[in-house]
Structure 1
Amino acid sequence: MSTELFSLSGRRAVVTGGGRGLGKAVAAGLAAAGATVAVVSRTAADVEAAAAGLGHNVVPLAMDVASGDAAAMVDAMEAGLGGPVDVIVHAAGVQHREPAEQFDAEEWDRVLRINLTAPFRLSQEVGRRQLDGGRKGSHIFIGSLTSLLSIPDAAAYTASKSGVYGLVRTLSTEWSGRGIRVNGIGPGYFRTALTEAVFADEKRYQKMLDRIPMGRFGAPEELAGAAVYLASDASSYTTGQMLMVDGGWTAA
């Protein structure tokens, strides 16, 4: 098998939440595989720093994907990339921890809006343009361990990431026969700003570590290979899947 199957040369990709953490690692992987990549985040300083460090084929775009008009945002993405979007990776996400019986209603709405509604609206708009233009595409949603199982004190996050897996299956069913593949990546525990509270709790840290068959947490760059695979022709017959990158957690 030729390694050219993994090449993203000539393709235009968007990575939301690309200014830091797992999104930045995914953006780096796609850029290294040859794609022109737009890194998107609410914070201009984050995306500008990320773009400066990732290479000449990375474009910074400061926007809040959870607010505003999806069509206008995709217009800005296409303008920054210099053409239509081929690949979109939804890595922007938030967490709120609170017992279910006390879970704040505004936090529930915020988590669902950012983690589930925003990626759907963006993929809906990108997908519509790809279908209208008869172009192929790859949409990659970032799920979670909670796409498949539950953890305490994370009702909204679990609901949103379970919903993400539902979107992956539904959009794949509707679009894959017309050239658009839709998949997800389910990261296990990686040290990022989103999971820092877990890593700061020594007892919880050890409990999590003991649960992972590989005996270690993931490094953000270890997510990049899965993203390149799902974005490229190497995965041309892969759609509707949630690829778990979790050190064996969900298999044990």
Structure 2
Amino acid sequence: MDFQGQRVVVTGAGKGIGRATAIMLARRGASVVALTRSASDLATLEAETGCRGIAVDLADAEATRAAALEALPADLLVNCAGTTELESFLDVTVENFDLLHAVNTRAPMIVAQEFSRELVASGRKGAIVNVSSCAAFVGIPDHAAYCASKAGLDGLTRVMAKELGPKGIRVNGVHPTVTLTPMALKAWSDPAKAAGMMARIPLGRFAEPDDIAEVILFLLSDAARMVHGLSMPVDGGYMIA
């Protein structure tokens, strides 16, 4: 998969899957524009890859739209930014529910809107990958707001695929299982809790960020030119267990 000459916007590029994706794209020739909240994460990513970084709090709708416009023009988009808060359903606060939907659902919509508008206006084709989660399909204790936000992203992805496909923009989603990122360690550091999840994965391990990044790059690439509207589990068989 060669991305030479292509400009790719990656949100959540400071850590985890987003960072692995940005690095992999840069190594395969892409010009990467990285959006993330942490300026220090951007500095190390820029030093490693030569990417262009834009620091933005994706919970802020106006700042998100301004950053998306600043990142354009681009050929490809990876909506990878995400956050979580661990609360049982009975304890979910409105503030955390709104935060997770702002970052996990609303921000991808805003960035994809501006990305797609620019492509359509210029008559170019492109591709979008929205990084969702197996939590969009399965109820996971203490993840009520997270599950709801990722299910919302899936609904958004399906509508985007219906409406943007005729305009030459492919849209797909990937659904990782537990991936060994800083956010996952926050949720799965309890060995007893992690063991229960691991037992449901036939391949017997959690994912590494590069496992997910490889699939994202495939879906962005011309090798996937007839793949559209897909919800792709990358889960070691979790969904069939």
**TM-score bin (small chain):** over 0.9
Q: What value does the CA root-mean-square deviation take over the aligned residues? A: 1.3
Distance 1:198 1:126 in 2: 32
On the 8 A contact 2:58/2:102 being kept in 1, the answer is no
What pairs up with 1:215-234 in 2 under 5 angstroms? Answer: 215-234=204-223
Of 86, 91, 102 in structure 2, the residue corresponding to residue 102 of structure 1 is: 91
Structure 2 match to 1:52 = 47
Q: Deviations over 1:93-133 (max 9, x none)?
A: 11111111221111111111110011101101111111111
On the 8 A contact 2:56/2:63 being kept in 1, the answer is no
The sequence identity of aligned pairs, in percent, is: 35
> How far off its partner does 1:33 sit?
2.1
Distance 1:135 1:111 in 2: 32
> How far off its partner does 1:159 sit?
0.7
Distance 2:237 2:55 in 1: 35
From the superposition, tell whether residues 202 and 71 of structure 1 become closer, same or farther in structure 2 (CA, over 3 Å).
Answer: closer
Given the alignment of the two structures, is residue 39 of structure 1 paired with residue 28 of structure 2, yes or no? no
Distance 1:149 1:202 in 2: 20
Of 212, 221, 227 in structure 2, the residue corresponding to residue 238 of structure 1 is: 227
Structure 1 match to 2:56 = 63
Given the alignment of the two structures, is residue 9 of structure 1 paired with residue 4 of structure 2, yes or no? yes
On the 8 A contact 1:33/1:228 being kept in 2, the answer is no
> How far off its partner does 1:77 sit?
1.0
Structure 2 match to 1:76 = 70
- TM-score norm. by structure 1 comes to 0.91
Q: Which moved more, 1:36-45 or 1:65-74?
A: 65-74
Unaligned runs of 5+ in 2: none
* Number of residue pairs aligned between Structure 1 and Structure 2: 240
On the 8 A contact 1:8/1:35 being kept in 2, the answer is yes
Structure 2 match to 1:86 = 75
Given the alignment of the two structures, is residue 194 of structure 1 paired with residue 183 of structure 2, yes or no? yes
Given the alignment of the two structures, is residue 212 of structure 1 paired with residue 207 of structure 2, yes or no? no
Distance 1:230 1:65 in 2: 24
On the 8 A contact 1:29/1:227 being kept in 2, the answer is no
On the 8 A contact 1:22/1:192 being kept in 2, the answer is yes
From the superposition, tell whether residues 32 and 185 of structure 1 become closer, same or farther in structure 2 (CA, over 3 Å).
Answer: same
Given the alignment of the two structures, is residue 166 of structure 1 paired with residue 155 of structure 2, yes or no? yes
Distance 2:120 2:98 in 1: 31
Structure 2 match to 1:3 = none
Q: Which moved more, 1:97-106 or 1:197-206?
A: 197-206
Distance 2:53 2:182 in 1: 20
> How far off its partner does 1:203 sit?
0.6
On the 8 A contact 1:40/1:60 being kept in 2, the answer is yes
Distance 1:25 1:61 in 2: 17
